[in-house]
């Protein structure tokens, strides 16, 4: 594994996130530069980026337009506050984002990450219910296997056990819907599975249990981090209808599905269901500068602002909300999305990507393949008594063969930059197929 790579002298100080630190530091893999569809390792090997970094570099790496926008802004004004103060570029960035969100969701609150966006959305939902005289609505509903980042709100509403169990009691008044995954009825579906709309009915059961104390439901329209779970046909529609019936806000966490990943600006558009609030991050700036945002329906914004006494209306925000460098990157990234019609490119490439993914059916240990837009999840049977080992070995084999994939336990998740072309798709799936074969035993 990469013994020749020059190593920085000291790997101790950096406590790496979501990482097996001991394992990684015993055999580090270092990325040194990036351009277009490729990373280059520090021993100068070309590595095809099958994951757009971490689902975020949607326009491809090193985009000159974004880099130059950041450079210009850094030279003009490095930082300015947005508390009781403003700078034009933050307003311009918000307007750009609002051009892309579904009609009505045009009030944009800036954060620095997906986690902060999730917690911000939950807080706005609680503030809204209180503003309209329903302060008893304090309960937040998430979904098993949901991922909404690592803040206490997102972690609590999220439904990934390992992300929660080290951290105590979490938020009170949180409940969860069941996950939508039913492999015995859905395995190897292309796009949305036929089976599973009824999983949404669990929300009716939670309303029966909790009465009028539910403020909001937060789900990923397509769950990414848990290993790619595509929503069953009719599921999100049913969730929307039950929320409307009971005055519950519906929040879509579009940190992964935003900015073209499903072939439309947001997943809401592709899936035909409009939530009340959308969270985003990642593709917003093409990941060149950290930034997140929450798009809020105008009705919610007005209810909170109009109900407030004179003065500050929402006691929430971050020093770096609307940071000038991030705002410059967001504007440039949005302009690139439009100029190159990146969602359209994703749509055009989807059939080839989907075919290549489903061609892995029949390889040893491949027990499910799930696809939508430029996202694919390939689920492998775990080795007996050694969950996640096969996945990690497939990951290493791909990396050593010059392809970056992502694994969640034994599920391989692929989400290349939206500029991907057919030869990249062939190399991506060809390398993965060879790695899966090699780990057949």
Closer CB to ligand PLP, 415 or 431, in the complex = 415
Q: How many chain residues interact with ligand PLP (CB under 6 A)?
A: 14
CB 170 within 8 A of CB 164: yes
51, 115, 156, 186: which one contacts ligand PLP (CB under 6 A)?
115
Q: How far apart are the first and last CA of the chain?
A: 20
Tokens 């009719």 identify what position?
A: 234
CB neighbourhood size of 242 (10 A): 19
113, 129, 186, 265: which one contacts ligand PLP (CB under 6 A)?
113
Stretch that binds ligand PLP, among 84-92, 119-127, 142-150, 177-185 (CB under 6 A): 142-150
Beta carbons within 8 Å of 117's beta carbon, 6+ residues apart: 111, 149, 253, 255, 279, 280, 281, 292, 293, 294
268 binds ligand PLP (CB under 6 A): no
148 binds ligand PLP (CB under 6 A): yes
Least Å distance between CB 413 and ligand PLP?
10
Beta partners for 252?
219, 278
Closer CB to ligand PLP, 178 or 402, in the complex = 178
* Residue 47 per-residue DSSP state: E
Closer CB to ligand PLP, 73 or 279, in the complex = 279
Task: Copy the structure tokens of residue 168.
Answer: 């105590």
The Cα 183–Cα 161 span in angstroms is 20
The Cα 167–Cα 299 span in angstroms is 35
The Cα 409–Cα 388 span in angstroms is 4
Closer CB to ligand PLP, 144 or 220, in the complex = 220
50, 196, 221, 224: which one contacts ligand PLP (CB under 6 A)?
224
255 binds ligand PLP (CB under 6 A): yes
Distance of CA 266 to the CA centre of its chain: 11
Show the binding pattern over residues 271-310: x = contacts ligand PLP (CB under 6 A), - = does not: ----------x-----------------------------
Task: Copy the structure tokens of residue 289.
Answer: 């500068």
49, 144, 253, 354: which one contacts ligand PLP (CB under 6 A)?
253
Judged by the rule CB under 6 A, the positions of this chain that interact with ligand PLP are 113-115, 118, 147-149, 220, 224-225, 253, 255-256, 281
């Amino acid at each position: 594994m990469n013994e020749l790579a020059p190593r920085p002298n000291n790997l101790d100080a950096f406590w790496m996130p979501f990482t097996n630190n001991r394992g990684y530091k015993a055999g580090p893999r270092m990325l040194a530069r990036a351009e277009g569809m490729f990373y280059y390792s520090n021993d100068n090997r070309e590595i095809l980026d099958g994951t757009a970094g971490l689902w975020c570099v949607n326009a491809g790496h090193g985009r000159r337009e974004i880099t130059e926008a950041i450079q210009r802004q850094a030279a003009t004004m490095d930082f300015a506050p947005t508390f009781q103060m403003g700078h034009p570029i933050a307003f311009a960035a918000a307007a750009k984002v609002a051009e892309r969100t579904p009609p009505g969701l045009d009030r944009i609150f800036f954060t620095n990450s997906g986690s902060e966006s999730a917690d911000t959305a939950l807080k706005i939902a609680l503030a809204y219910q209180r503003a309209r005289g329903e302060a008893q609505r304090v309960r937040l509903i998430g979904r098993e296997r949901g991922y909404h980042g690592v803040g206490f709100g997102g972690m609590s509403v999220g439904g990934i056990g390992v992300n929660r169990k080290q951290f105590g009691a979490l938020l009170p008044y949180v409940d969860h819907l069941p996950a939508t995954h039913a492999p015995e009825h859905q395995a190897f579906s292309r796009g949305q599975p036929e089976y599973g709309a009824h999983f949404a009915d669990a929300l009716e059961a939670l309303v029966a249990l909790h009465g009028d104390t539910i403020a909001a439901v937060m789900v990923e329209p397509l769950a990414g981090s848990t290993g790619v779970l595509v929503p069953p046909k009719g599921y999100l529609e049913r969730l929307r209808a039950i929320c409307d019936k009971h005055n519950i806000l519906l929040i879509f966490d579009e940190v992964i599905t935003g900015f073209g990943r499903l072939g439309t600006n947001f997943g809401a558009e592709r899936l035909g269901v409009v939530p009340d609030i959308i969270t985003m991050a990642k593709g917003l700036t093409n990941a060149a500068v950290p930034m997140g945002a929450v798009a809020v329906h105008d009705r919610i914004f007005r209810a909170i602002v109009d109900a407030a006494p004179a003065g500050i209306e929402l006691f929430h925000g971050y020093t770096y909300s609307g940071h000038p460098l991030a705002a410059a990157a967001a504007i440039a990234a949005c302009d690139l999305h439009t100029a190159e019609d990146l969602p359209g490119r994703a749509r055009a490439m989807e059939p080839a990507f989907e075919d290549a993914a489903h061609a892995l059916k029949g390889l040893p240990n491949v027990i499910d393949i799930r696809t939508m837009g430029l996202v694919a999840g390939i689920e492998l049977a775990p080795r007996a008594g050694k969950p996640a080992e096969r996945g990690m070995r497939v990951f290493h084999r791909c990396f050593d063969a010059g392809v970056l994939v992502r694994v969640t336990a034994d599920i391989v998740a692929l989400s290349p930059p939206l500029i991907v072309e057919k030869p990249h798709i062939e190399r991506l799936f060809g390398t993965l197929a060879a790695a899966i074969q090699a780990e057949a035993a």
